[in-house]
Structure 1
């Protein structure tokens, strides 16, 4: 029995498309660095050198520590937006955030929560990677692993309105 010519062409086209490289997919949600080259976002220009008003006020040199000309983009961004850049250097929780932290830890918290979450995240993406064998279309590990946990904003807004909870940032109901 002869296969129709269009079926053969379709099978050949699918086989040829399966040979394409998946690494050419450029998305901003890709977690893994795929190349061996330098990371162009990791290179920061230094601040210009300035003569201090008093040489005695300069800090003592500390090998391996930051100096006055090292860029600090987070502090510079905070200062540019009118915030207090010194808040980055403080240890502990500021008085402004005390109520928020107390509310967040009302049911308890673990001392190594960041390490625990990192390990759980790695395990979730590893388990999901074994299940998703075909990987048809552009996707990344994070999106495919956590798609089932995404929240639907419209459904949540309707749920809150049914309970008579105000949602001031949402548009009025139609």
Structure 2
């Protein structure tokens, strides 16, 4: 599926994974997808979100607040590391060697998995692109997918930042129409 994403769309996906890792989460939720979209420069979704007053720093701070309120704890994959340690595998040693050979930040374990809602957002991304007659999926389709699902912490973060989903959707569609003309 990711081969159908535009370069900016793929970059937003990678940023969402990076945000999850940076926050110490062993999952990628709708909130991480939102952070990936906000963090993508020169992209339709990133530009529209910033025009709506949503910057990465505020979105990240609100994400942390929403997660803490929901009881989400940053585990940094400790359960998985403990399981491997119990059979004699030292994840920290593997990380040290990987970074020694391939560079700082080259090894992340565990690689976060997408939550069910995040998968629904990505599935809706496809539907949004098709609805607009587009063959490739960009950040605009991802944001429209996030707005269509309307569930999860990404939606909570947008609401807490004072964003109205319908108004944001209209802004994205207006930008897509302007870019097409």
Normalised-by-shorter TM-score class: under 0.3
Based on CA coordinates, which of the two structures has the bigger radius of gyration? 1
Q: Output the TM-score relative to the length of structure 1.
A: 0.22
Larger helix proportion of the pair: 2
Larger RCO: Structure 1 or Structure 2 (Cα < 8 Å, ≥ 6 residues apart)?
2
